[in-house]
Amino acid sequence: MSGTLVLVRHGQSEWNKLNLFTGWKDPDLTEQGVEEAIEAGKTLGERGMKFDVAFTSELIRAQRTCQFILDGVGQADLQTIRHEAINERDYGDLAGLNKDDARAKWGEDQVHIWRRSYATPPPGETGESLRDTGARVWPYYIREILPRVLRGETVLVAAHGNSLRSLVMVLDGLSKEDITGLNLGTGIPMIYKLKADSTVASKEVLGDDSNAH
């Protein structure tokens, strides 16, 4: 009696638009981001998707995306659980910096490593690598989210590019090398059907037929 897990990265944020490292900073959605979130809800609603519970982070861009999706499927008042465990990775000293300025200062290769590598954190005491991010995302997923999916529920998780990358890495069986090339689009739902042993039975990325399998 396996269920369905729907993962959605938040719509475009104000800092995405400005090309800034965001992390745990809390900018809101842009108009485009609102449209992306509304479209995600509309697309899921047209498929007849209904959720039993929603999870989101402590950051407004994910929370508003979650609410727009729930509005779109006709479940505006659905129970929604917020937790910082699925916040975006902490970008440390890079937070708030322009990505192009960072490349000019530290070099293209170094900034790419900080952004995409598995184990190298950005500078600063609080900076998290993808591995560090997964170290808080996965226990929360296993303890709070997965049991509900395995009971046959349909669960929405509206979160962030890197907190979701850390989940997708394991769900899709990606290597440390594979994950460096993975970038999740804003407002694009990923629908996972899980087997009873918690492994993936099927995955569909809405709006991207090349990733359906």
What is the set of active-site residues? 10, 88
> CA angle 192-153-160, nearest 5°?
50
Strands, E assignment, the chain: 4-9, 53-56, 80-82, 154-159, 189-194, 200-205
Q: For residues 113 and 122, what is the distance between their CA atoms, to the nearest angstrom?
A: 9
Q: Quick one: how many helices (H) and strands (E) in the chain?
A: 9, 6
Range 72-76, long-range pairs (CB < 8 A, 24+ positions):
72/38, 72/40, 72/41, 72/42, 72/43, 72/44, 72/45, 73/41, 73/44, 73/45, 73/49, 74/45, 74/50, 75/50, 75/51
Q: For residues 117 and 175, what is the distance between their CA atoms, to the nearest angstrom?
A: 11
